[in-house]
Structure 1
Amino acid sequence: MSISFDDIPSSLRTPGAHIEFNNELAGSANVLHKMVVIGQRLGTGIQSAGVPIRVTDPSRAKTLFGRGSMIANMIAASLDANTETELWAIALDDLGAGVAATGSIAVTTAATEAGTLYIYIGGVRVAVGIADGDDTDTIASSISAAINSNADLPVTASGSTSTVTLTARHKGEYMNGLDVRSSYYEEREPDGLAITYTSLSGGSGNPDIGPALDAMGDEWFNWLCNPYNDTANIQALETELDSRFGPMRQIGCRAFGALAGTLATMGTWGSSRNNPHLSVLGTGTSPTPTYIAAAINMAVAAKSLSNDPARPLQTLELPGVKAPRREELLTRQERNLLLYDGISTFTVARDGTVQIERQITTYQFNSAGLADASYLDICTPETLERFRYEQRAMVAQKYPRHKLADDGTSYGAGQAIVMPKIIKGELLALYKEMEIAGWVEDYDTYAEQLIVERDSEDPNRINWRDTPNLVNQARVFAGKTQFIVK
């Protein structure tokens, strides 16, 4: 008997027709991609810290992690941008030794007419009614009441005089710089009213992201949202990302973050990082908190990359991210500088819509410290990840329990035997499929340079070396017009 059966024994003597099924030629299913959000919870939530949980509903997230918590708001922002990709969350507790950031709203002059004041806390609008004759203390009290009536805001308000004190719901430095302003959309304010806004500051002590990374275990999460920019957490994250991408784990993950501040601040921070799996969006003076912008960026990118890892993300809208004031937008030249500092950029359409301009990683230099653009765009590690997965899936699906022989071996038809030339043929066929999908190009060169051989030291092992030519992205179009005047 030459055919290799899995379940039907060769010693069978009882009469009957026995047919077994084998799925080695059936192909494999598509990858079920996953996103994961890491952030802080409140004590009012029922979900324990450090335990991954799948979330599909923003209202459920509020129950799990507490209304107004960092992670609940990140989940809401993610789901608003992408409900198709599976979303998980891992909560962290505030650092006990941390300090909550504070800010203020000082009413310096009362209004001379009744009206409505629109205050924006981290980009979220709060309407405050002002009656004719209200003094500064009354107006401040109305502001406090309006803010505290929205339990989803990241701050609480207090104060009995003309100054309202804003306190972050969580401890940590991530809330420093939380934007507080009025009339983002240039809403008319009551005449005579004068208010001074002070953004939050003084927060310190972010929690350690390590327990959340440990909680991920060996589960494959394709995209991660990280709300922290302190060096200790970023280094821990980069170490984990490198490990996941490595050949012994092969569960690569791209992490998304965001960074606010001036051009110099963002450029300096970006220049200090160098990782092919970390992408950080420079939000400048956007009123949207960085942790919310990062969650939206992750969700939007995941939706596109899950469909096609090689297709650029430029022009995709970031719903929920508010643009800086027109006069505070970075110029093209300034954004170009950021792209050389490892910071991703956005543009703003005429209607105020924020759109991805170029999604890059923080990778900028090779191991020798020389400039290297090999992992510049996020599409590169994403395409490599998918390329590797397809090769692994092919081997696991078609050759799960095969014997190994040298090329040219004569064996009976139907035997579960594989040879180097068979694997080479499979790799070439798979490359052609990926070329048709638009992930790679130049099949002829790939075929010419592909090496597949049996290991000279381990007869149970096949080695191969291939040189995939990843398809590029159409990003820059340049033309030279030489006109003639006669």
Structure 2
Amino acid sequence: MSISNLMSLNFLVPYVASKIDFSRAIRGMRGMPRRLLLVGHKLVGGTLAVNTLSTITTEADAITKLGEGSMLLAMWRDAKANADLGLPIDVIAINEGGSAVKATSALVVGGAPTVGGEVMLYIGGERVSVGVTTADTSATIATKLNAAINAMAKLPVTAAVAASTVTITARWGGPTGNDINVRTTYYPDDALATGVTLTTPAMAGGAVLPDVTPVITAMNLYRATEIVNPFTDSPNMVLFENELAARWLQNNMQDAMVVTCVRGTEAAITTWLNTRNSPHVHTIAVTNDCTSPWETAAMAGAAIESSAAIDPAVGPTAKLLGYRGPVQGAGFVVDSMNNLLAKGGSPLNIAVDYTGSLLRMVTNYKLSPGGAPDRSMAEMCWLKTMSFYRWYRVTEFQNKYNNAGYKLGQYVEQPIPGQKIMTVDLAEEIMIGLYKIFCDAGLCQNMPYYISTLKVEIDAPNGKLKIMDEPVILTQHYQTEVTSNVVAGQV
């Protein structure tokens, strides 16, 4: 083909023109920008304004903006610990609900040590411990525990003591405080000093829901590819589900996914999942664990998006660093895990040391709009893959063809040399070339089928290039079946 002119043919003055064109500088697979967004409560002393988007990179910045002991700071630390290098972590702090009530628990110390020892307590998975002697009474032990709790600024609670009772109170108001786990012993070698008892009622009384509407407003023109939402009540879930549904439409394309975590029995979690059906939400299902659900969700969100940045078609199986799961015998059995997966929940793989890893990530989607069972959007990786697939093609056309001086040739078969004319043949060549990149990257397969089903039309009067394709994505290897036909003796 001939070389196109850089200057007008009417320009006659002797001159040397040299154009630098970066449109072909990047070849092969490009990485999609990914961001993790954490939504939650900060403390009053945190300098970050509520409903304001902020990127936080350092521990010092996180403490200053969010406040030590806040929900958001704990989420940020957990996300940071589970995120690969290069994954930006953004936060939006949300107001508590009006007149929000803080959750509390009254811890009661009983008895007295017959020998010296230790009294330990786990709050949200964090261990609090005091030494005791035979000179201590239940009241003095309670005083020691109270001081130890208040000395740990990172705890999500504060404490007050009266006689032998230590009352702990969540640092923020609302029902999420009810999910702060409180227990005495956790590991097999934890043992209260002989003669001492410690009663640890579940946190309760937290009430009045927050409203994520201002958070969604603050997300305008901003795209996070994974959002951690600690508020699993129906009103706030509906708001996020509707926002995500709009973001996945072709007139928006700021698609994201939300990760939540719900703790409870199989029956309780199933009841919750029965009211959810969004393909853009995935829910970690846990039971009897120590770690607060919003922290588990932050760990999972960072691990999921870090995996997707490398390969969105690979089912993430990362160990969640910092997670404290149920003790042996207190987790979900296999049948329960299968039931939860079928309902749209994602249980963790709990190891013998109580740590947890991602197992199989499914979305909340299970029913078609007509109410029929439908697994077409049940696998999280399928949506992650297609999100990347769409982004790659859209940016390819935005960078190289749309508004780049191309004309549409509806009937042109052999373009004039040097002319930038988009034809059916050129569009097919572009799409097949892009598909080959995805096949080579192990994201798509079956090139002959793709070519046979690719359709391209040019609507010249309206200035449109119209394409319909059928990518065949790679799925995930979750199960293996081996049948051994045994032959005994001589063959």
TM bucket (normalised to shorter chain) is over 0.9
| Aligned-residue offset at 1:4 | 5.2
Return 27-36 or 412-421, whichever deviates more: 27-36
| Aligned-residue offset at 1:262 | 0.6
Residue 299 of structure 1: which of 289, 292, 302 is its match? 302
Residue 257 of structure 2: which of 237, 254, 257 is its match? 254
Tell me the residue number matched to 1:448: 452
Structure 1 contact 113–133 (Cα < 8 Å) conserved: no
| Aligned-residue offset at 1:165 | 0.7
Structure 2 contact 179–293 (Cα < 8 Å) conserved: no
> 1:101 and 2:100 equivalent?
no
Tell me the residue number matched to 2:24: 25
> 1:388 and 2:397 equivalent?
no
The equivalences for 1:314-353 within 5 A come to: 314=317, 316-353=318-355
Cα deviation, 1:77-134, whole Å, max 9, x if unaligned, reads 1101115211100001212221111112101212222222221101011121223311
| Aligned-residue offset at 1:410 | 4.5
SS in 2 for 1:201: coil
Instruction: Give the letter for the 2:238 counterpart.
Output: Q
For 1:122 and 1:267, locate their aligned partners in 2 and report how far apart those are by CA, in whole Å.
Answer: 24
| Aligned-residue offset at 1:23 | 2.7
Tell me the residue number matched to 1:152: 154
Q: Would you say how many aligned residue pairs link Structure 1 and Structure 2?
A: 483
TM-score by length of 1: 0.96
Cα deviation, 1:370-425, whole Å, max 9, x if unaligned, reads 11111111101100001111111221222132111124344432212211221111
Tell me the residue number matched to 2:439: 435
SS in 1 for 2:481: coil
The equivalences for 1:52-451 within 5 A come to: 52-84=53-85, 85-186=87-188, 187-314=190-317, 316-400=318-402, 401=404, 402-451=406-455
For 1:300 and 1:115, locate their aligned partners in 2 and report how far apart those are by CA, in whole Å.
Answer: 39
For 1:409 and 1:17, locate their aligned partners in 2 and report how far apart those are by CA, in whole Å.
Answer: 35
Residue 23 and residue 417 in structure 1: after superposition, are their counterparts in 2 closer, same or farther (change >3 A)?
A: farther
For 1:356 and 1:345, locate their aligned partners in 2 and report how far apart those are by CA, in whole Å.
Answer: 8
Structure 1 contact 24–399 (Cα < 8 Å) conserved: no
| Aligned-residue offset at 1:11 | 2.9
Instruction: Give the letter for the 1:68 counterpart.
Output: G
Tell me the residue number matched to 2:37: 36
Structure 1 contact 56–87 (Cα < 8 Å) conserved: yes
| Aligned-residue offset at 1:54 | 0.5
Instruction: Give the letter for the 1:438 counterpart.
Output: G
| Aligned-residue offset at 1:59 | 2.9
Structure 2 contact 32–388 (Cα < 8 Å) conserved: no
For 2:216 and 2:3, locate their aligned partners in 1 and report how far apart those are by CA, in whole Å.
Answer: 47
SS in 1 for 2:345: coil
Structure 2 contact 101–205 (Cα < 8 Å) conserved: yes
SS in 2 for 1:176: helix
| Aligned-residue offset at 1:58 | 2.6
Identity of aligned residues (%): 28
Tell me the residue number matched to 2:47: 46
Residue 177 and residue 37 in structure 1: after superposition, are their counterparts in 2 closer, same or farther (change >3 A)?
A: closer
Return 123-132 or 302-311, whichever deviates more: 123-132
Structure 1 contact 33–306 (Cα < 8 Å) conserved: yes
Structure 2 contact 32–392 (Cα < 8 Å) conserved: no
For 1:103 and 1:83, locate their aligned partners in 2 and report how far apart those are by CA, in whole Å.
Answer: 37
| Aligned-residue offset at 1:321 | 1.2
Instruction: Give the letter for the 1:21 counterpart.
Output: I
Structure 1 contact 27–397 (Cα < 8 Å) conserved: no
Instruction: Give the letter for the 1:250 counterpart.
Output: M
Cα deviation, 1:142-189, whole Å, max 9, x if unaligned, reads 111100001111111112210111111010111213211122113232
Structure 1 contact 3–412 (Cα < 8 Å) conserved: no
| Aligned-residue offset at 1:214 | 1.2
Runs of 4 or more above 4 Å deviation: 1-5
Residue 83 and residue 442 in structure 1: after superposition, are their counterparts in 2 closer, same or farther (change >3 A)?
A: closer
| Aligned-residue offset at 1:21 | 2.1
Residue 112 and residue 59 in structure 1: after superposition, are their counterparts in 2 closer, same or farther (change >3 A)?
A: farther
For 1:410 and 1:267, locate their aligned partners in 2 and report how far apart those are by CA, in whole Å.
Answer: 61
Structure 1 contact 23–397 (Cα < 8 Å) conserved: no
Structure 2 contact 327–354 (Cα < 8 Å) conserved: no
Structure 1 contact 53–88 (Cα < 8 Å) conserved: yes
Structure 1 contact 111–194 (Cα < 8 Å) conserved: no
Instruction: Give the letter for the 2:70 counterpart.
Output: S
Tell me the residue number matched to 1:8: 7
Cα deviation, 1:199-253, whole Å, max 9, x if unaligned, reads 1011111211111111111212111100011000000000111111111111110
SS in 1 for 2:15: coil
SS in 1 for 2:206: coil
Instruction: Give the letter for the 2:37 counterpart.
Output: V
Instruction: Give the letter for the 2:62 counterpart.
Output: A
TM-score by length of 2: 0.95
Instruction: Give the letter for the 2:458 counterpart.
Output: R
| Aligned-residue offset at 1:30 | 2.8
Instruction: Give the letter for the 2:288 counterpart.
Output: T
| Aligned-residue offset at 1:278 | 0.3
For 2:9 and 2:40, locate their aligned partners in 1 and report how far apart those are by CA, in whole Å.
Answer: 58
Instruction: Give the letter for the 1:257 counterpart.
Output: T
